[in-house]
Amino acid sequence: MALERSAKTDWQGDLDRGSGVTVGLRSTRSPAGLPVRALLLPLAITVALAFAPVASAQTQPATGPSTSTGTGGAAATVDRLATSAAMATLTRGGNAVDAAVTAAAVLGVTEPFSCGIGGGGFLLSYDARKQRATTIDHRETAPAAMGPASFMEGGAPLPFPAARYSGLSVGVPGTVEGWAQALKRHGTISLARALAPAIRIAREGFVVDATFAAQTRENLDFFDDAPATKALFLDPDGTPRDVGTVFRNPDLARTLTQIAWRGTKAFYRGDIADAIVETVRRPPVSPTANHTWRPGVMDERDLRKYDAERREPTRSGYRGLEILGMGPPSSGGSTVGEALNILEGYPLGSLPRTEALHRRLEASRLAFADRNAYLADPAYFDVPLAGLLSDGFAATRRALIGDSAATSPIAPGDPYPFDDERPGRRQGQMSATTERAGSTTHISVTDRAGNVVSYTFTIESTGGSGLVVPGYGFLLNNELTDFNYDSLTHPNRVEAGKRPRSSMSPTIVLRSGRPWLTLGTPGGSTIITTVLQLLNDRIDHGMTLPEAIAAPRTAQRNTATTQAEPAFLQTPEAAALQAKGHRFTSTAEIGAATGIELLEGGGVVAAAEPVRRGGGSAMVERPSP
């Protein structure tokens, strides 16, 4: 990126190499059963923690401000500690990628039910000096021993809770490798420096808020089956940690210290890797557990072979802007892009609000029909990406939109005539898999040099698989339930080494070839509908970025009913849409978006949720008076 890699001190260089401070240490074990090296804190890490760019976790407010305006770099996340860590990295000379990884590591501590080193994600970045965007796909992968029938018993697929709370659902985690590659390719600081704030917060603790307590309560019936999970997240009486108390995770602090010390090999080989495999293959649950926790098939080779993929972003035009997104195995960039292509045929800004909303819901319905049929890991299925994002295909889909709501599920279209079709291409199939809400988190960062990051990462459901790796303090993902695990033939079926389809939609919008917006959100498959709505409201309806983030949301995903937040259902437009045949179901909230807008003249607006998921935090380097 535009910022040059700064000269490192001796201790930073040692940590980058991961060797100078570890020579001669043996892998002996302490009386507690942990490796001795996991309990040592080398001088290098001590120095890093001493200068960790974050204030005391216990003295900072949990959230806010949700909007900041000014100049210089900016960051927005769901958590004030993470945003503060990103901003401290920026003000100390780090670039947007450095700040994003630093914030992500903190979120893995403070938002453990949504993200962390036990999961994976997609990082989209724009290099201002090279004027180029790239993505790092560190999505989880299926172990080599898995196949299409892995989630089936007696010829039928497992119920979702049985599939999720198990070792079967755990994909090989990609987050640590993704962070390392992002910093190596685009950053200016070491992985050790990026992890230092997270290590400090894990060790010293942070204050439990209402969202943390509610997410714990949501998993209570399963968390108390697993002793390591119960010990970490529940009080001794088996109830969630009280709001206002301090939550500490010393095991995670030691785990992150090992990774800071030895790099990715500390995670993908050795003691941590062994502990992950043991947890997956023999889920450590209590003899009194009231659920069956099925074993998985991951082994050490799956972890050793993991690699993050560098991919080109998806690109689509809309109203003279260029929309950059995430391509397969994510369905985010293609589905948002297809829906926008359909909508570009309408003058949405001048239509009555009800008519514009009707067309957005119908465009989303159609794009999801195609997404469900054709999106999968491109190493296993020849995704017709060019066809899905073509104007010609969008025109065929737009022609199906009438004055009233269509009845879902509607059939997918045929994008192949609009793709560079080759003999032997496999056709997609309609998906019957339920579109679950999921969890996840999103980070938006820009720096003073014009570099931009849009980063979404996750452990899938809120609480992931429910399995904390004993002695290491992090939850493992349940990402493999994102496969169409009820099918032996769907393009997104379970296969060895495959990445499951995702909905994550990190997005950067270019205007006149330069970054203008960066945004994203958590929310499972509602990620796509939320990003589409944010772009629609900002570009077509003239809302400011904070207004678009705060606006009531809807989510149509080729389902019989459209999810809607209560505030939307109280509007006149909701009643008018019902008259057009739209049917709604109420849901408390959809997503938890963050975004940054780069203004003319060097200004910047950073925005996060004011209320959803407890409210977010947005900051800029030099706030306006």
Of 401, 402, 394, 366, residue with least CA distance to 529: 366
Percent of residues, the chain, with pLDDT higher than 90: 85
- What are the angstrom distances between the C-alpha of 312 and each of 123, 186, 328, 333, 470? 11, 15, 10, 11, 37
- CA–CA dist 337, 344 (Å, integer): 10
In this prediction, residues 312-316 reach a mean pLDDT of 97
Q: Does residue 428 register a pLDDT over 60?
A: no
Q: Are strands 309-311 and 507-511 parallel, antiparallel or unpaired?
A: unpaired
432 has pLDDT over 50: no
Residues 6+ apart with CB under 8 A from 602: 71
At residue 43, the pLDDT reads 38
HSE (CB half, 13 Å, CA atoms) of 484?
20
CA 264 to chain centre: 20
Two tokens, residue 256: 């992150």
Angle, alpha carbons 142-161-473 (nearest 5°): 65
Helix (H, G, I), strand (E, B) or coil at 605: strand
Q: Per-residue pLDDT averaged across 513-524, rounded? A: 95
Three-class SS string for 526-573?
HHHHHHHHHHHHHHHCCCCHHHHHHCCCEECCCCCCEEECHHHHCCHH
pLDDT-derived band at 62 (thresholds 50, 70, 90) equals low
| pLDDT in the model for residue 224 | 94
Half-sphere exposure of residue 182: CA atoms within 13 angstroms, side-chain side: 32
**pLDDT 10s digits, 324-342:** 999 999 999 999 999 999 9
Q: What is the CA radius of gyration of the chain?
A: 23
- pLDDT tier, 226 (very low <50, low <70, confident <90, very high otherwise): very high
Question: Rounded distance, CA 255 to CA 225, Å?
Answer: 23
Helix ranges restricted to H, 282-388? 300-304, 332-343, 353-374, 385-388
Whether 547 shows a pLDDT value over 80: the answer reads yes
Is residue 508 scored above 50 in pLDDT? yes
Q: Which helix (H) or strand (E) holds 99?
A: helix 96-110
Helix (H) / strand (E) containing 74: strand 67-77
Ramachandran region, residue 52 (left: φ > 0; alpha: ψ -120 to 50; beta: rest): beta
- Split at pLDDT 50, 70, 90, the class of 59 is very low
Kindly list the domain boundaries of the chain, sorted by start residue: 7-332+438-625
For residue 9, pLDDT beyond 60: no
Which CATH class, in words, describes the domain spanning 7-332+438-625?
alpha beta
Q: Select from 417, 392, 375 the least CA-distant residue to 341.
A: 392
Is residue 538 pLDDT above 50, yes or no? Answer: yes
Better-scored residue on pLDDT, 345 or 47? 345
What mean pLDDT is predicted for residues 123-139? Answer: 97
Looking at the predicted structure, is the pLDDT value of residue 303 above 80? yes
Asked if pLDDT for residue 7 goes beyond 50, the answer is no
Quote the pLDDT of residue 42: 45
pLDDT of the residue at 420: 74
Contact 399, 342 (CB under 8 A): no
Taking Cα atoms as reference points, which of 413, 419, 386 lies closest to residue 398? Answer: 413
CB under 8 A, 24+ apart: contacts of 536-542 = 536/343, 536/348, 536/356, 536/360, 539/318, 539/319, 539/321, 540/319, 540/343, 540/348, 540/349, 540/356, 541/348, 541/349, 541/356, 542/349
Q: List, as one string, the DSSP characters of 376-389.
A: S-TTTS---HHHHT
Least confident of 83-97, 379-393, 413-427, 581-595: 413-427
pLDDT given at position 10:
27
Secondary structure letter of residue 601 according to DSSP: G
Q: Which residue has the tokens 């001590």?
A: 46
Higher pLDDT, 248 or 30: 248
- Confidence band of 438 (pLDDT split at 50, 70, 90): low
Mean residue pLDDT across the chain: 89
Which residues lie below 8 Å from residue 167, measured CB to CB, with a gap of 6+? Answer: 279, 280, 281, 282, 283, 293, 294, 295, 296, 297, 298, 465, 467
Does 491 score more than 80 pLDDT?
A: yes
How confident is the model over 49-58, as a mean pLDDT?
A: 47
Residue 604: enclosing H or E segment and its boundaries?
strand 603-608
pLDDT at 274: 98
Strand 584-586 and strand 562-564: pairing?
A: parallel
Q: Are 135 and 327 in contact (CB under 8 A)?
A: yes
pLDDT tens-digit series, residues 385-402: 999 999 999 999 999 999
pLDDT for residue 436 is more than 60: no
Whose structure tokens read 């259902």? 569
pLDDT band at 369 (very low <50, low <70, confident <90, very high): very high
Distance CA 173, CA 183 (A): 18
Q: Kindly tell me if the per-residue pLDDT of 40 is higher than 70.
A: no
Question: Catalytic residue positions?
Answer: 440
- For the segment 360-385, the average pLDDT, to the nearest whole number, is 97
335 with 341: CB under 8 angstroms?
Answer: no
Q: Tell me the torsion sign for CA atoms 513, 517, 522, 527.
A: negative
Per-residue pLDDT for 426 more than 80? no
User: Residue type for 30, please?
Assistant: S
In this model, does residue 208 exceed pLDDT 80?
A: yes
**Rounded CA gap, 245 and 223, in Å?**
19
User: If pLDDT is split at 50, 70 and 90, which confidence band does 70 have?
Assistant: very high
pLDDT tens across 78-89, in order?
A: 999 999 999 999
CA separation for the pair 109, 111 (Å, rounded): 6
**Structural contact between residues 297 and 145, judged by C-beta atoms closer than 8 angstroms:** yes
Contact 67, 619 (CB under 8 A): no
Sign of CA dihedral 584, 586, 587, 593: positive
Average pLDDT over residues 261-283: 97
Residues 616 and 608: their CA atoms lie apart, in Å, by 5
Predicted structure pTM score: 0.90
